[in-house]
Each structure stands twice: as C-alpha cells, then as structure tokens.
Structure 1
C-alpha cells in the first residue's frame, strides 16, 4: 500500500528537521543569533521589502562570526512603544528566560528601527542577566559597554532616534493643521452622526492622485441629519439632555452606533444615553466648519506592569482646537445657535435672579459606586446626590441601589466640627481665624490638602488623612 500524501509530507518535514539539527551541530562553534526588526505601518510600507533589507544588514554584521537562527519582526507598531507592548519583541524577551533557547545573542538591522530614546538602556540589564549579547550595525558587532566609544555612540543613537520621531511628528502635525485651517480638508476618521462621506475629487498631490487616492468630504446623511437638527432645536427650546435622550429612545430612533453598525461592531447597547446626546451638542463640526485636534492620545504607564503602557484618549483644551476659516461642509446648525447651546451649560441665574453656588462641587464621591456626586438644588438649598449611573435617559434597572443624597450645609457643619475637635487649623495662612468656618474657606482647605469626601447611606469620611497639631493622622468620620 502506497503512503498517502500526508505521510510523505510528514516524512519530508522530519528529514528537514534532522538536516537542520545536523547543520546546527556542525556549526556549533558559531554564534547563534536572533534577528529583530520592525516597521511602523502596514498601509504605507511593504513589510516584505522592509524585513528583507533589515535582515540583509543584520546578516552582513554577523557574517563569518555567527548565524541567524530565529527571527522576530513587528509590523504596524511604533518605535515609541516599549518592547513589552510589541508582540514580537515581547516574545523575544520571554524567550530570554528559557534555558533551552535557540540563540545566544540578538542582532538588529537598524538601531532606530528597534529602539527609541533610552529604551536600550532599560533593556541592557535584562540582556546582561541572561547573558545575551546585542549586536548592532552601528558598532559592526557586539555592543561593548566597557568601550567609551560604544557608550557615547549609544547615547547619540538614542537621541537621534528620538529626534527623528519628534521632527516627523512636528512636520505631520503642522501640515495637518494647515490643511484644516486653510483648506477645511477632512483628514480621515468616521463621520459625525448626521453626516456621511462622499467623494471630493482626486488627491491634490499628483503622485498620490496617480496611485488612485482621492479626497473625501462630509455631506448630509438624509436619514440621521434631521435627528441632529431636532436635538439642537429641543435643547434651544429648554429641554434637558436627559429628556432628549429619553424622547429619542421612546421614538425608536437608532442611536449612532446602531445607525452605523459597520464602524461600531463593538457597541451592543443600542440606546441613546445622556453622554451621546451631550457629545452631539458639543461637536462644533455641525456648524459646517472642519475642526481638528479636539482629542489626542497619550501613552500612560500601566500600574504594576513595569515598562508597559496603555494608550488613553483625552480631550484637548478648546484653545488648542484647529477650526477651518471657511465652511467646509453643509451645516446642521448655525454658529449662533451652536454657541447658544454651549452657553446653556454655563452658570445662569434662576427665576428669582440669584446664582446657585455649590461650595463642594467635585469634592464628593459616592462610597457605593465611586462616582463623583452631582450637585443638586432641592428645597432652595444646595445638595449632592448619586444615582449610581442611572439617568432619566433610560429606565432604572431592577435591584439598582437607592440614591445617595446629602445636604451641603449639613456636610460643612459636620466637617467644621470634626476638624476643630481634631485640632486642625481651618484658617488658611494670612487669613483671619474668625473666617475659617466660612463655607468657602472650608472648601479651599479641602482642595488645598487634596481631600475627597466619600459618603454612603451610613456616613462620611474624608480621605486622605490630614495631619493634626500633634503630628498624628486621623481618619475623619462624619456620621
């Protein structure tokens, strides 16, 4: 009976494995090296060609002195990411701890492709602990930290790698700023709710145009644009954000994630929320002007994970936004109405002409869910409440915890009494001691010491602790 094709393939693989083992044994006196390379993007760089030239450079470095036996190559990861956050680099670091690893040293095709800033200095102790050499094209061999020239070269390469990134970043951001400001160009990303992307002609760069690249611009979506107009009209008429969200849910209007499922496959809730409506009302692109740099991303260290970072998104201050000088797409709201909607959020007088003041705004957190408690005016006095994430934009969930509510005057009185009993000076330096019990003074004291009031249905606590006149610290519980 003749062997099947699968048996032939298995036998061929076994033979190749034996030949490889014999070849490694024959070259056992040579150094075994792991090659590491990287390319930043996969859309604008060819991985195969980038990997090939880096591997060729590395092979020239080790020629006659060793052989590359294993390869690690990251594609689509920035050099600014630590090695622990690049999949292939992380796999290489994990392989270092294996006593039976297949390599004795590491070689890279280019320093700037592998390291950024002082990343190498952070990795060198790990390499040294596992007795793994690092070979660089710039040193034409292994890195020797006992050589002053190598140490100086290492500092120069790190600074050069950082400088290259910063220069490229500055050029790109400056170009994007000019394109938005002067041309009103759409720079990519998903269109806001109420708009769709349409063709805007060939790319202005002739080389890009020859490759078939085209520009896009925002145009009105006939299905969702009327909903955006309705949202702004209701807000201008005095309806609350929560009421708008509730009305949209009652009418069965698909929320943004449901209206564009292709770009939102990760969102499954399918209802309008207060945050969704507030985001639409705060988006200046509905005035017809192109706006850029409203948000940015920053790498932040992950707690308890040395060298690893996560990318977080943050809102930039309004003065950093870039707004086009011209109308770039059809508006859904006038600039006058948009500004009027933003001013609704500002402090405004009540019907009797007075302004409502909340002395402890931002200082009180719920002990049940950890959220910052909302300022709430009830019975002509300031108070604070927490509804544990519930809003009137959607029904309350069964079994949800009871709301936490406390009056501001009760909180301030309890804090003042308790601080005095602990011997804590409540008067800021340079102020009259007689004014120390004023609500504004107490709030300033809490902010100065970065204290937070944590409460639940049973009592209050101030955290962190404040030092007393005796030098000891106390947990300040306020029943």
Structure 2
C-alpha cells in the first residue's frame, strides 16, 4: 500500500492475501509474505524494502518457494516494471502468478502478452487520473472557494477554526476547516518588513535589523512545524520569501512555485495567477491582509539604491540584466569615473578558480549599452534608459558581454540562457 495515513495494513494485506490464496488454490500454499508500506508503485522493486528482500531470497538455491503470486497487479507494478521483474524471476527458475492471468504468466502466449500490456497501461492511467483529479479539485477549491488546503501557515499568520468540513462524510467524522488569521506576535513584523521595503530599504538591511532586534525568524517562531530547520536567524532568502508571497494580500494561494531568483526581479500580480506555473490564487479575499495589493505590487522588482559616502545614491538602470559571456555569471554593478558600469572578475569572488585563458575581468559602460539598445528598442527608448530596462525585465531579456560581440537573449530562470527562435524577434546582435 502506497500510503500509511489513509490505509490500514491489516485490511489491505488481508484482502490481497485472500486473492492470492484463491489464485493458487489446489496448486500450492503460501510459505512467505512480502508486503511494502508507504512505497509508491512507481518505485522500482530494488527501492522497495520488501520487494528487494523477495528478489534477494529468490537468488538462493535453497529458497522455500518456486513461484511468486501477486495479490493485485496495480499494487505491485507500474508501467513496464512487470517485464523486468518477470525476466529476473524466470532467470532464477521462479514462476510469476497473477489473478488476472488465472495462474502463471507465460509471455510466449500472445494472449498473456496483450494482457500484460493492458494491465501496465491501466496501472499508469490509474495514477495519472487520480493525480489529475486531485490537483484539479484542489485548484478549484483554492481559486473559487478560497479554502485553506493544509501546510504550514505563513509567518505572520496562525490557523483558526472555520467551521465543519464541507464534505458531509468528513464533517460526520468531526473534521473541521481552517482559515488564516493574523498572529499577534509575528504579524506586526510582517507589516514592518513590507513598510521598510516600500521605503527603498535593502533586503539585507531588513534581515540585519531583525537579527539585531532579536526577532524570532519563522523557523524559531513555530518550532513544532519547523523541526527540520537548524538555523534560527533571519537570512535574505527568508525576507525575500515573505515579500514575494501573495498570501499577505489576503488571498489564498495554493501550489505556488518560486521564481528561481535571489531577489525581487519579477513583477507578479496577485490577482492574476500564473497558470503556466500551476499555482492558483483565490478570486476573493479570504483572510485579513497584512499588506494591501497596491503596496505589494509596488515593491515587486524594486531594487534598493546604495548611498555613497557623500550621501548620494547611485542608480544602475540595467542591474541584473548584464551577464558574462565567458563564465555565465551576472555582472556586478560598478561605478568608475563618475558613471555607472558593470564588471565581472571571473572567479575572484567565487569558489572556482579562474581559467588561465580568460581575461582578468570584463567591464562595460552603461551608457554604451544604452546607446546600442536604443537603436534596437526605439519604441522603448527614453532619456534615462528606464523604459528600456522595463522592456527587458518584462520580456526576460539579458545582455551577454565579454566576447567579440554582445547579444541580447531571453533568460529563463535560474539565469540559464536559452536559444531564441529568430522568428520571435527578441535576439539582437550588438557589434
């Protein structure tokens, strides 16, 4: 049985043994039983403890059995696993009996060959159909009903009773629904994080102050649900996760995936879930919001400007959109001679040694890049280049530098350059 939370071993193994005994009645008796718990049928037999023990026992010449009988095909095999197991058993002189074949399986028989193909396809279809039904149902429950579908509540919230379960059978068993409500101890700090970020403060600065103040981080504030966490301090990734989570706008979210970035570089609209990523957001507000949607949208893609020793801030319009063609890393923003630029030092700031054939560093001026980009993106051209940067960000474009030419290509997170179909028109060769 694949799940131990929703099935009973005695019941499950009992009815499968009855089927096996009926199959071999008049031909033999069962001398050993092998039953796996908590193992998906998609796992190969060598990764299932009991199945692996059975195959190991079959290799001994003094084994107490000469055949293996399966209680139900779908519980034992998935896809083309049957053929591999049958071949291994036959090589050791062991027969394989199935209730569906009403005895030993003989793959030399065309009828048995067709039956095994049918059972393998049916086993795979059963898994896919169950997965599709569950995911589709949970998607609708989150999007239309706004139901909380389990898991750890986000930092700043706690679970509250929401009444009887809407399914009558579950309600009769005493199951209750849950909803999110602000946690008095942590919700103020979530609001503070959003407020600080809205003023342009860096994520690192927010994390440092939280640690300096001794504010419990999510894993420390809820130890019962975070026993697998060993670190008890705020890190940048934790703050970023809070700032990117649409749940704080009061909408329920299910099956959300991360963007694969280390900063807030993607615009996300909490009222328009990404179907391509497979996550859903509720159509209505389902719990008290800790930040309004306008403020949440405003900080997505925000970059904190670093003040200089003179109190001025330096702005890098193309920060995060320039990549080294030689080593594949993003170029660092670098101020030289009173103007912005970008550089890469190929391993001087990483754990990898710099290949000797590479140049010591790559440096490119921002104004040179903008001049080239204005020629290509004339419709997005502006005096300060902000319109060009917005266009590149919305289309996931990245400039690669360091070789004899510079290119603009689409970049699919995490920072992996992809070849662009020339018919799309998003590839640009900058000479």
TM-score of the superposed pair, with normalisation by structure 1 = 0.66
Q: Alpha-carbon deviation of 1:363? A: 6.7
TM-superposition CA deviations, 1:149-179 (whole Å, max 9, x none): 0000000001111111222222211111111
Aligned with 1:68: secondary structure?
Answer: coil
Q: Quick one: which of 286, 289, 295 aligns to 1:328?
A: 286
Aligned with 2:163: secondary structure?
Answer: strand
1:104 and 2:54 correspond: no
Superposed counterparts of 1:10-409, under 5 Å = 39-295=1-257, 320-344=278-302, 354-356=317-319, 358-360=321-323, 364=327, 373-379=329-335, 380-384=340-344, 407-409=361-363
Between the aligned partners of 1:150 and 1:144, the Cα distance in structure 2 is: 6
Q: 1:197 to 1:357 in 2, by over 3 A?
A: closer
Q: Contact between 1:106 and 1:134, CA under 8 Å: does it hold in 2?
A: yes
Paired position in structure 2 for 1:33: none
Aligned with 1:409: secondary structure?
Answer: strand
Bigger radius of gyration: 1
Between the aligned partners of 2:324 and 2:249, the Cα distance in structure 1 is: 32
Q: Alpha-carbon deviation of 1:357? A: 7.0
Gaps of 5+ in 2: 259-273, 306-312, 365-402, 420-431
Paired position in structure 1 for 2:379: none
Between the aligned partners of 1:264 and 1:407, the Cα distance in structure 2 is: 43
Between the aligned partners of 1:99 and 1:263, the Cα distance in structure 2 is: 50
Paired position in structure 1 for 2:374: none
Q: Alpha-carbon deviation of 1:209? A: 0.7
Greater CA drift, 219-228 or 373-382: 373-382
Between the aligned partners of 1:240 and 1:362, the Cα distance in structure 2 is: 28
TM-superposition CA deviations, 1:273-304 (whole Å, max 9, x none): 111111111111111101112149xxxxxxxx
Residue correspondences, number: 348
Gaps of 5+ in 1: 1-38, 297-315, 366-372, 390-399, 411-435, 450-479
Q: Alpha-carbon deviation of 1:244? A: 1.4
Q: 1:323 to 1:44 in 2, by over 3 A?
A: same
Q: 1:69 to 1:148 in 2, by over 3 A?
A: same
Q: 1:51 to 1:282 in 2, by over 3 A?
A: same
Q: Alpha-carbon deviation of 1:360? A: 2.4
Between the aligned partners of 2:354 and 2:210, the Cα distance in structure 1 is: 25
Q: 1:346 to 1:250 in 2, by over 3 A?
A: closer
Between the aligned partners of 1:382 and 1:50, the Cα distance in structure 2 is: 64
Q: Contact between 1:360 and 1:443, CA under 8 Å: does it hold in 2?
A: no
Q: Alpha-carbon deviation of 1:98? A: 3.4
Q: Contact between 1:377 and 1:383, CA under 8 Å: does it hold in 2?
A: yes
Between the aligned partners of 1:216 and 1:441, the Cα distance in structure 2 is: 48
Between the aligned partners of 2:238 and 2:36, the Cα distance in structure 1 is: 37
TM-score of the superposed pair, with normalisation by structure 2 = 0.72
Q: Contact between 1:58 and 1:137, CA under 8 Å: does it hold in 2?
A: yes
Q: Contact between 1:359 and 1:443, CA under 8 Å: does it hold in 2?
A: no
TM-superposition CA deviations, 1:13-60 (whole Å, max 9, x none): xxxxxxxxxxxxxxxxxxxxxxxxxx2222222221111000000011
Q: Contact between 1:383 and 1:406, CA under 8 Å: does it hold in 2?
A: no
TM-superposition CA deviations, 1:321-353 (whole Å, max 9, x none): 211011111111111111112121699xx9668
Q: 1:163 to 1:181 in 2, by over 3 A?
A: same
Between the aligned partners of 2:58 and 2:234, the Cα distance in structure 1 is: 50
Q: Contact between 1:203 and 1:213, CA under 8 Å: does it hold in 2?
A: yes
Greater CA drift, 98-107 or 204-213: 98-107
